[in-house]
Amino acid sequence: MSKSAPLTTIDTAKELETHIKQLIIIEPRFADIYAQVGVPDLRRKPQGFESLLRAMVGQQLSVAAAASIWQRLEDAGLTTPKNIKSTDDDSLRQQGLSKQKIRYIRSLVEHDIDFDTLAILPDDKVIETLTAVTGIGRWTAEMYLLFSLGRSDVLAVDDLAIKVGAMALFELENRPTPKQLKELTQSWSPYRSAGSLLLWAYYGWLKDREGLPV
């Protein structure tokens, strides 16, 4: 029986820098981007229920609106599975949550995910576990892999900023589809998280350039 590949993570800026340099060997076009943006912020977040709950709350909302609702939930003590389970939908609605969001949050509570075990599962199993929850799609699961678990080989091919960054990187006429982006970046493995972080930073740099449509 073959052994599973070891789980690799990026936990420090120095480790990210090492991954970036390895990625540039594979994809030299990243050299110019790296020169422009440097080592991106790891943007690490805590593991566990609260991080996923916060992601759900913020879906399709402005940063300000999401922060306001989250503060109300915190003030009401409604950020733990136990307290959410013991409250009714009206109480959740009073904090600013829509009917759909309440359904998503109930699903997250009901799945009772063992987050300690999740942290040692392979990437595909983490995605499988998280996307079984109503309201968690592949993109959210990949964000959890990258920012909460620090996994080193995650490229969110559905992410708009990554598509725009990749379009500029590869000098494409149009934004790549998820399928095209997956094919174009397959060779970046096992350093795709470094690619994601660089492309996000590059997207921000492109947006700041005067007159550049993104």
The set of residues, in sequence order, having a beta carbon less than 8 Å from that of 107 and lying 6+ positions away, is 133, 134, 135
The set of residues, in sequence order, having a beta carbon less than 8 Å from that of 191 and lying 6+ positions away, is 19, 20, 22, 23, 26, 152, 153
113: left (phi over 0), alpha (psi -120 to 50) or beta: beta
Instruction: Assess contact for 91 and 76: CB atoms under 8 A.
Output: yes
CA 83 to chain centre: 26
The set of residues, in sequence order, having a beta carbon less than 8 Å from that of 83 and lying 6+ positions away, is 77
32 noted as active-site residue: no
Q: Find the catalytic residue in 75, 112, 123, 159.
A: 159
Q: In whole angstroms, what is the distance from residue 145 CA to residue 33 CA?
A: 24
Q: Residues 131-161, buried b or exposed e (16+ Cβ, 10 A)?
A: bebebbeebbbbbbbbbbbbbbbbbbbebeb
Q: In whole angstroms, what is the distance from residue 193 CA to residue 23 CA?
A: 10
Polymer length in residues for the chain? 214
User: Which residues is 9 bridged to in the sheet?
Assistant: 151
**Residues recognised as catalytic:** 159
